[in-house]
Amino acid sequence: MHFPILTSLIALPIAGALLLLFVPDDEHGDGTVRAVALVVSLLVFAETLLLWYHFNAASAEFQFVERHDWIPAFGISYFIGVDGISLLLVVLTGFLTPIALLGSWESVHKRTKAFAMFVLLLEAAMIGVFVSLDLFLFYVFWDAMLIPMYFLIGIWGYDRRIYAAIKFLLYTMAGSVLMLLAILGLAYMHSVATGSYTFDLLQLYEMSIPAKTQVWFFLAFALAFAIKVPLFPFHTWLPDAHVEAPTAGSVILAGVLLKMGTYGLVRFAFPLFPAAAQLFAPILATLAVVGIIYGALVAMVQPDMKKLVAYSSVSHLGFVVLGICAMNMQGVQGAVYQMLNHGVSTGGLFLIVGMLSDRRHTRLISEYGGLKKVTPHLVAAFLIITLSSIGLPGLNGFVGEFLILLGAFRWNPKMAAFAATGVILSAAYMLWMFQRVNYGPVTNEKNARLVDLRTREWFVIVPIIAMAILMGILPNIFLKPIGPSVQRMLNQVQQGSAPARIEARR
């Protein structure tokens, strides 16, 4: 019996949140609250690194598996484990949470305690989503995650925060309840076939589902994930949620939450329903490409930096979905890698925008200009993260986009060609924004005496930059554990879809 490291990863943030209950909620308590939350989230991060260290990268199997009966009458178990696909997403969650906490120390003044509690609970739920191997457990975490995020946006957000919070919650929920029914349908089919219910993902992988049923189930799952990603045309909640959320909320939303959609496609929708996936992949990919170009074009005309970054997410996540739809090694590996990249670089961009908005209380591009002379360090960090976001070789974004385009080209050259324009467009909108904010003369007096990076902000931004460079120069460290698991998942999809396709043709 080894140490239940995954359970402890979920339990530690919850324990931290409960511990915070006993800290007084006033001016004096704030320092303690921040310290406790930061220490807990750093411990979680350290533990995720430990997990990675002990992870056998050569194996495609699920590791650190724990399984306990939970609701035996329905074959529901507490069944968790990680493979190469989820491992790094767990690490990413551990990496971004302390940064998000640290990054909002100055912008969150009221109710610090509740804020820290919600962030920690959110972290527990996010890790839970990534490690669940039981569909019921997965759904519980998936839904439970909405509540802390709802409060984070609704209480600590900007002006239209209530609208954004409710929209976020209802959109995501509307998508996911149909998935719940599909999950129930799957379990029921299993009970018809074998006589017992199960929500065990590995057993459900083995089940052969008639092609027509697969279509319905796939649509229910894909809708939930498409809203979460968000895939065009289900993206309208995202700009609102991002713009209105506090910095920490945006970082976690962009960094981790959006990945749950793409992760869900890789982990659940595609391997569970391979025949339907084969059928719908071109449609999903088309929506993804439309999203890449649409997101980029809309981002270009945004006057608000945060909104610009939000739309850039729509564009970047389009790449991830395209890579998944390509269903080959490069495509999917690139997609998983790009999930991590996007977490790092978009998280970084939101942090930078947050720092500017902490100083000036505006996010409008037109309010800035010439910052390079005033805050050189901040602008340097801004530049590196911008370049990483647009995929400059040597930084992280390049590797992921390159792999995805390679995979997409092997699958469908036309899609790849259209998607590639997104790379150019992203360079255009990001650099144009960067130029308007940072170059030229200082046109607005208020910008003349802005403070450069503070010590705390150095601690926030340096890890992001270090990660961006590391992932750009040594991608193999990260790609190595991803590979075998992706291969296993691809085999599953190909084996599963072959007989079903013949059946459909008949």
Partner 1 sequence: MIASLNAIVPMACVAAAGIAAMIAEAFTAPGERMPIAPLGIIGLAGAALAVGALWDHNASSFGVVAADNFGLFVTAILVVVGLLSLAISAPAIDREGLPRGEYYALMLFAIAGMILMATATDLIVIFLALEVLSIAVYVLTGIRRESAVGTEAAFKYFLLGSFASAFFLYGIAFTYGVTGSTHLDRIGSVIAAQALAPTPMTMLALGLLVVGFAFKVSAVPFHMWTPDAYEGAPSSVTGFMSTGVKAAAFAAFVRVFLSAFEPLRASWGAVLWPIAAATMIVGTVVGVAQTNVKRMLAYSSIAHGGYLLLALISGNDIAKGAVLFYLLTYALTNLGAFGVIVLLEDRDRPNDKVSDYAGLWNDHPALAALMTIFLLSLGGFPPMAGFIAKWYVFSAAVKAGYTWLAIIGVLTSVISVFFYLRIVVMMYMTPSGESMARFPAVPKLAGAALVLSALAIFYLGILPSRFIDLAAASISSIF
Residue numbers of the site for partner 1 (CB under 8 A)?
25, 69-74, 136, 139-141, 143-144, 146-147, 150-151, 154-155, 161-162, 165-166, 169-170, 173-174, 177-178, 180-181, 184-185, 187-188, 191
Query: How far apart are CB 212 and partner 1 at their closest, in Å?
Result: 14
Which of 64, 67, 89, 46 shows the shortest CA–CA distance to 3? 64
Nearer to partner 1, 54 or 212 (CB): 212
110 DSSP 8-state letter = S
Nearer to partner 1, 25 or 304 (CB): 25
Nearer to partner 1, 168 or 294 (CB): 168
Nearer to partner 1, 173 or 450 (CB): 173
Distance CA 63, CA 53 (A): 12
Nearer to partner 1, 136 or 429 (CB): 136
Give the CA angle between residues 420, 336, 340 to the nearest 5°: 95
Query: How far apart are CB 190 and partner 1 at their closest, in Å?
Result: 12
Nearer to partner 1, 199 or 263 (CB): 199
Query: How far apart are CB 101 and partner 1 at their closest, in Å?
Result: 20
Query: How far apart are CB 188 and partner 1 at their closest, in Å?
Result: 5
- 278 membership: H or E segment, kind and range: helix 274-300
Measured from the Cβ of residue 274, the count of other Cβ atoms closer than 10 Å reads 26
CB 36 within 8 A of CB 116: yes
The tokens of 258 are what?
């959006």
CB 483 within 8 A of CB 356: no
AA letter at 13: P
Query: How far apart are CB 198 and partner 1 at their closest, in Å?
Result: 13
Which of 472, 352, 484, 459 shows the shortest CA–CA distance to 62? 484
Query: How far apart are CB 155 and partner 1 at their closest, in Å?
Result: 6
Query: How far apart are CB 280 and partner 1 at their closest, in Å?
Result: 20
SS (H, E, C) 144-184: HCHHHHHHHHHHHCCCCHHHHHHHHHHHHHHHHHHHHHHHH
Nearer to partner 1, 224 or 322 (CB): 224
C-alpha pair distances (Å), 323 with each of 364, 420, 485, 501: 33, 12, 16, 22
- 20 membership: H or E segment, kind and range: helix 5-20
Nearer to partner 1, 1 or 73 (CB): 73
Query: How far apart are CB 276 and partner 1 at their closest, in Å?
Result: 17
Nearer to partner 1, 140 or 469 (CB): 140
Nearer to partner 1, 96 or 201 (CB): 201
Helical residues (DSSP H) of 305-370, grouped into ranges: 305-326, 329-360
Query: How far apart are CB 30 and partner 1 at their closest, in Å?
Result: 16
Rg (C-alpha) for the chain, rounded Å, is: 22
Query: How far apart are CB 447 and partner 1 at their closest, in Å?
Result: 31
Cα four-point dihedral sign 395, 397, 399, 402: negative
Which of 339, 81, 103 shows the shortest CA–CA distance to 228? 339
The tokens of 446 are what?
């208020």
Query: How far apart are CB 72 and partner 1 at their closest, in Å?
Result: 6
Nearer to partner 1, 136 or 382 (CB): 136
Query: How far apart are CB 363 and partner 1 at their closest, in Å?
Result: 21
Nearer to partner 1, 168 or 411 (CB): 168
CB 471 within 8 A of CB 341: yes
Query: How far apart are CB 270 and partner 1 at their closest, in Å?
Result: 23
76-82 and 63-71 as β-strands: parallel, antiparallel, unpaired?
A: antiparallel
End-to-end CA distance of the chain: 50
C-alpha pair distances (Å), 370 with each of 154, 365, 373, 439, 460: 34, 11, 6, 4, 23
Distance CA 260, CA 304 (A): 26
Which of 459, 461, 462, 437 shows the shortest CA–CA distance to 450? 437
Q: How far is CA 237 from the centre of its chain?
A: 15
Nearer to partner 1, 184 or 215 (CB): 184
